[in-house]
C-alpha cells in the first residue's frame, strides 16, 4: 500500500494502528522523519509512539533542533527516558549540546548512571573536538585470543556496536595495539591467534583534535571508522563515516558563510530568526564600510586631478571591479585548496611564484582589453593609464587573494575568514591607489 499524510490521518481516525505500524516497519528512517514533519502535532505524536523504540530513536536523530524540542515537550518522562536510552551516545551528545541548559539538566536526570557517565565524558571535550563526535560503542579483542574466541566475543558484544567493519585490538589496559578489518578475521583460521594477524600499523585520532581532522584522515586513508585515543593511547571510542559526513557538510557550510562575509549560523537557515540573521551579518558589513572609507579618502585626495581629467572617473568602476573579481577568484581557489589539504603552506614561495605567473598573464590580457577601451573612449593618454593600471591591479589583487589565506593559516586562523567581500574591499582600495599613482606619473610626463 502507498501511504500519504492524508491517509495516515485516516488510518489514525479509523484506529488502524496495527496496519500503520506494520507499514512503517518497512520504511527507511529518513522517509519516516519526513512523514512526521509533514503531519500535524496530534498525528505526529501518535505515529512517533507507534514506532519501535530503536526506530523512534533513529528518527529522532534525523530531526532538526526545533522539531526535536517540540517533540520532547509532548513526550512523557518514561517515553523520553526510553528515547534517550536508545539514542547513540554521539547523537545523545549532539542533543544535549543544542538544548537550553534547563532542558538539558531535566533530560540528564532521566538517564541511568552508566548513560550519565557517557554523556558527561563526551560533553567534557572541547566544542568541535573529535571527543564530542565519537561513540564509545565499539568491539575490542585481545591479542592473545584465538580467532574463534574473538568471533564469539563479537557475536555477544557486537549487537550494541555502531560499526562492526573494524575490530580493535587492545591490551588489558585498553591501550590500542592495532585495528583489524572484520573480513580478515572471518576468513582466518579459527585456531590462529589474533596477534598473528596484527601488523601494528593503524591510524588513530586524539580526542582533543579538531573534528575536521577526522574528515581529512578518512578521506586520506579511505576509511569508514577511526579509533579515538587519549594521550596515552588508550582507546576511548570510534568516529564513524556517517558522523564525519555530517561534519564535512557543516564545515563546508561554515566556509560558504565566511566566504560571503557572514558569521556562521549555529542552526539551519529555517530555524534562525530575523534578529540572529541580522546580528550575523551586520558586523561584517560595518567592518567593510570602514575598509571602504580608505577608497573614499583616496578619491577625495585626488579630486582635483579627477576634475581636470574627467575621463579618469569613468574607468574607476571597471578597474576596481576587475581587481575585486581577480582577488576573489584567487582567494576562493586558495581557501578551498587549504581546507582539503591540497597545498602545503611550507611551500608558500612556490604558490606565490605560480600565482605571480598567472596574475601576470591575466593582467596582460585584461590590460590590452582595457587599453583598447580607453583609446576608443578617451584617446591614447587615458588608454595608457588604464592599460597599465589594469595590469598592476590584477597582479596585485591576485597576490592579495593568495597571500591573505596563507597568512591566516600560518597564524592558525581559519583561512575562510578571507571572504570575498573583504578581499574585494581591500583590492578596491589598493586598485584606486595604484590608479591614481600611475595617472599622476603619466600625466606629469605629458605636462
Kindly report the CATH number assigned to the domain that includes residue 432: 1.10.357.20
Domain that holds residue 358: 274-445
Which residues, listed in sequence order, are joined to residue 193 by a DSSP beta bridge?
A: 146
pLDDT band with cut points at 50, 70 and 90 for residue 189: very high
The answer to whether residue 260 is domain-embedded is no
The answer to whether residue 293 is domain-embedded is yes
Q: Residues 6 or more apart from 91 whose CB is under 8 A from it?
A: 57, 60, 61
The answer to whether residue 38 is domain-embedded is yes
Which pLDDT score, from 0 to 100, does residue 419 have? 65
Which pLDDT score, from 0 to 100, does residue 362 have? 92
Residues in the chain: 447
Which pLDDT score, from 0 to 100, does residue 191 have? 93
In terms of domains, do 66 and 165 share one? no
pLDDT band with cut points at 50, 70 and 90 for residue 263: confident
pLDDT surpassing 70 at residue 272 = yes
Q: Please classify residue 285 by burial: count the beta carbons closer than 10 Å to its beta carbon, then call 0-12 exposed, 13-18 middle and 19+ buried.
A: exposed
In terms of domains, do 126 and 168 share one? no
Instruction: Compute the distance between CA of residue 362 and CA of residue 212 in angstroms, rounded to an integer.
Output: 34
pLDDT in tens, 52-88: 777 777 787 777 777 777 777 777 777 777 777 777 7
Question: What CATH code is carried by the domain that includes residue 117?
Answer: 1.25.60.10
The answer to whether residue 325 is domain-embedded is yes
Average pLDDT, the chain: 81
Average pLDDT over residues 242-259: 73
**366 against 16, higher pLDDT:** 366
pLDDT surpassing 60 at residue 330 = yes
- Got the DSSP string for 66-117? HHHHHHHHHS-HHHHHHHHHHS-HHHHHHHHHHS-HHHHHHHHTTS-HHHHH
In terms of domains, do 297 and 421 share one? yes
Which pLDDT score, from 0 to 100, does residue 443 have? 84
In terms of domains, do 116 and 199 share one? no
What is the sign, positive or negative, of the torsion defined by CA atoms of 375, 379, 381, 385?
negative
Instruction: Compute the distance between CA of residue 340 and CA of residue 252 in angstroms, rounded to an integer.
Output: 10
Instruction: Compute the distance between CA of residue 151 and CA of residue 194 in angstroms, rounded to an integer.
Output: 11
What is the sign, positive or negative, of the torsion defined by CA atoms of 172, 176, 177, 181?
positive
In terms of domains, do 296 and 398 share one? yes
- For residues 64 and 268, the answer to whether their CB atoms sit within 8 Å is yes
Q: Give the residue from 347, 353, 368, 342 showing the smallest Cα distance to 398.
A: 353
pTM listed for this prediction: 0.57
In terms of domains, do 60 and 98 share one? yes
The answer to whether residue 263 is domain-embedded is no
Percent of the chain clearing pLDDT 90 (strictly above)? 11
In terms of domains, do 26 and 98 share one? yes
The answer to whether residue 262 is domain-embedded is no
What is the tally of helices (H) and strands (E) in the chain?
Answer: 22, 6
Query: Cα–chain-centroid distance for residue 64?
Result: 17
Domain ends where: 132, 150, 180?
132
In terms of domains, do 342 and 431 share one? yes
pLDDT surpassing 70 at residue 3 = no
The answer to whether residue 264 is domain-embedded is no
Q: Do the bridges between strand 176-181 and strand 235-240 make them parallel or antiparallel, or are there none, so unpaired?
A: unpaired
- For residues 38 and 4, the answer to whether their CB atoms sit within 8 Å is no
Question: What CATH code is carried by the domain that includes residue 230?
Answer: 3.10.580.10
Which pLDDT score, from 0 to 100, does residue 83 have? 74
Which pLDDT score, from 0 to 100, does residue 409 have? 81
DSSP letter assigned to residue 208: T
The answer to whether residue 352 is domain-embedded is yes
Q: Give the residue from 25, 230, 64 showing the smallest Cα distance to 131.
A: 230
**84 against 439, higher pLDDT:** 439
Which pLDDT score, from 0 to 100, does residue 195 have? 92
In terms of domains, do 283 and 250 share one? no
pLDDT surpassing 80 at residue 329 = yes
Average pLDDT over residues 332-359: 81
3-state secondary structure of 225: strand
In terms of domains, do 421 and 308 share one? yes
Instruction: Compute the distance between CA of residue 255 and CA of residue 249 in angstroms, rounded to an integer.
Output: 10
Highest averaged pLDDT of the listed ranges 38-42, 210-214, 226-230, 347-351: 226-230
Domain count, the chain: 3
Q: Phi and psi at residue 257, in whole multiples of 5°?
A: -60, -50
- For residues 430 and 299, the answer to whether their CB atoms sit within 8 Å is no
In terms of domains, do 28 and 122 share one? yes
In terms of domains, do 146 and 124 share one? no
pLDDT band with cut points at 50, 70 and 90 for residue 349: confident
pLDDT in tens, 358-412: 989 999 999 999 999 888 888 888 889 999 999 999 999 999 888 888 888 887 7
H, E, C per residue of 292-349: HHHHHHHHHHCHHHHHHCCHHHHCHHHHHHHHHHHHHHHHHHHHHHHHCCCCCHHHHH
Domain ends where: 86, 116, 132?
132
pLDDT in tens, 102-139: 566 567 667 777 776 677 676 677 877 888 788 777 88
pLDDT in tens, 157-176: 777 676 778 889 999 888 99
Q: Give the residue from 189, 142, 141, 192 showing the smallest Cα distance to 166.
A: 141
pLDDT surpassing 80 at residue 255 = no
Domain ends where: 132, 149, 173?
132
- For residues 249 and 168, the answer to whether their CB atoms sit within 8 Å is no
Count CA atoms within 13 Å of residue 49 on its CB side: 16
- For residues 95 and 49, the answer to whether their CB atoms sit within 8 Å is no
pLDDT surpassing 80 at residue 183 = yes
Amino acid at each position: 500500500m502507498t501511504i500519504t499524510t492524508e491517509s495516515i490521518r485516516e488510518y489514525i481516525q479509523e484506529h488502524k494502528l496495527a496496519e500503520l505500524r506494520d507499514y512503517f516497519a518497512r520504511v527507511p528512517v529518513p522517509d519516516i522523519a519526513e512523514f512526521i514533519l509533514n503531519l500535524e502535532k496530534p498525528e505526529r505524536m501518535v505515529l512517533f509512539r507507534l514506532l519501535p523504540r530503536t526506530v523512534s530513536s533513529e528518527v529522532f536523530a534525523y530531526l532538526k533542533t526545533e522539531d526535536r524540542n517540540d517533540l520532547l515537550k509532548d513526550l512523557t518522562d518514561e517515553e523520553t527516558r526510553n528515547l534517550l536510552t536508545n539514542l547513540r551516545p554521539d547523537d545523545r551528545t549532539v542533543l544535549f549540546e543544542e538544548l537550553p541548559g534547563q532542558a538539558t539538566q531535566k533530560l540528564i536526570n532521566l538517564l541511568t548512571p552508566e548513560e550519565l557517565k557517557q554523556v558527561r565524558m563526551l560533553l567534557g571535550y572541547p566544542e568541535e573536538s573529535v571527543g564530542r563526535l565519537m561513540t564509545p560503542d565499539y568491539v575490542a579483542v585481545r591479542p592473545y585470543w584465538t580467532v574463534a574466541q574473538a568471533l564469539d566475543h563479537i557475536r555477544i558484544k557486537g549487537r550494541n556496536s555502531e560499526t562492526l567493519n573494524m575490530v580493535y585490538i587492545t591490551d588489558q589496559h585498553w591501550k590500542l595495539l592495532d585495528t583489524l578489518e572484520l573480513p580478515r578475521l572471518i576468513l582466518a583460521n579459527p585456531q590462529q591467534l589474533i596477534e598473528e594477524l596484527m601488523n601494528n600499523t593503524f591510524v588513530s585520532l586524539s580526542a582533543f583534535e579538531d573534528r575536521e581532522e577526522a574528515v581529512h584522515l578518512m578521506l586520506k586513508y579511505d576509511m569508514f571508522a577511526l579509533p579515538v585515543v587519549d594521550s596515552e593511547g588508550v582507546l576511548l571510542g570510534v568516529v564513524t563515516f556517517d558522523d564525519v559526513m555530517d561534519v564535512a557538510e557543516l564545515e563546508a557550510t561554515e566556509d560558504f558563510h565566511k566566504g560571503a562575509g557572514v558569521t556562521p549560523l549555529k542552526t539551519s537557515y529555517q530555524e534562525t530568526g530575523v534578529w540572529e540573521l541580522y546580528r550575523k551579518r551586520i558586523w561584517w558589513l560595518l567592518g567593510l564600510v570602514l575598509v571602504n572609507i580608505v577608497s573614499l579618502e583616496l578619491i577625495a585626495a585626488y579630486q582635483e586631478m579627477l576634475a581636470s581629467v574627467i575621463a579618469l572617473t569613468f574607468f574607476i568602476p571597471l578597474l576596481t571591479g576587475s581587481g575585486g573579481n581577480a582577488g576573489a577568484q584567487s582567494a576562493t581557489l586558495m581557501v578551498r585548496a587549504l581546507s582539503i589539504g591540497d597545498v602545503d603552506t611550507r611551500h608558500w614561495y612556490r604558490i606565490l611564484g605560480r600565482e605571480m605567473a598567472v596574475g601576470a598573464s591575466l593582467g596582460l590580457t585584461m590590460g590590452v582589453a582595457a587599453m583598447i577601451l580607453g583609446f576608443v573612449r578617451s584617446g591614447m593618454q587615458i588608454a595608457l593609464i588604464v592599460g597599465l593600471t589594469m595590469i598592476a591591479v590584477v597582479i596585485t589583487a591576485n597576490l592579495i587573494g593568495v597571500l591573505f589565506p596563507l597568512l591566516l593559516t600560518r597564524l592558525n586562523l581559519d583561512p575562510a575568514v578571507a571572504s570575498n567581500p573583504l578581499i574585494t574591499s581591500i583590492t578596491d582600495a589598493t586598485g584606486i591607489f595604484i590608479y591614481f599613482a600611475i595617472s599622476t606619473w603619466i600625466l606629469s610626463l605629458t605636462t
